[in-house]
Amino acid sequence: LAKTTQPISMDSYEGQEVNITCSHNNIATNDYITWYQQFPSQGPRFIIQGYKTKVTNEVASLFIPADRKSSTLSLPRVSLSDTAVYYCLVGDLLEYQLIWGAGTKLIIKP
């Protein structure tokens, strides 16, 4: 089972681009990388998912290098409402081997 390592916390300011990096040195061939966002007392919310290279949607980008041993979630022009915990998950979607780490607590300051 792939395990992930993320920074415990990060600070940034409104309007800045925030990059959160996740390490997953033991990622397997069938593993996908998924990021979720969670606000206090709410369930996690899907942000983005990818397998390799770069994926972009309306809220974020996900950069995955060729060796896939890490990935970076990029949040453009953050606002105060982006203050949340961000989880990086790595696992085989079909075999349901997802393991949730501690996440990264992102605090956005005005």
The strand ranges marked E within the chain are 9-13, 18-23, 31-38, 45-50, 53-56, 61-64, 70-75, 84-92, 104-109
Rule CB under 8 A: is residue 50 a binding residue for another protein? no
**Residue 83: beta bridge partners?**
none
Binding residues for another protein, total number by CB under 8 A: 23
Exactly one of 1, 17, 45, 80 binds another protein (CB under 8 A); which one?
Answer: 45
- State which of residues 1, 102, 107, 109 lies at the interface with another protein (CB under 8 A): 102
Binding mask 57-96 for another protein (x = CB under 8 A): ------------------------------x-x-xxxxxx
Position 51 contacts another protein (CB under 8 A): no
Q: How far apart are the two ends of the chain, measured CA to CA in Å?
A: 39
- Of 84, 103, 104, 106, which one interacts with another protein (CB under 8 A)? 103
Under 8 Å between Cβ of 71 and 21: yes
* Tally of CB atoms within 10 A around 45: 12
Judged by CB, which is closer to another protein: 13, or 43?
Answer: 43
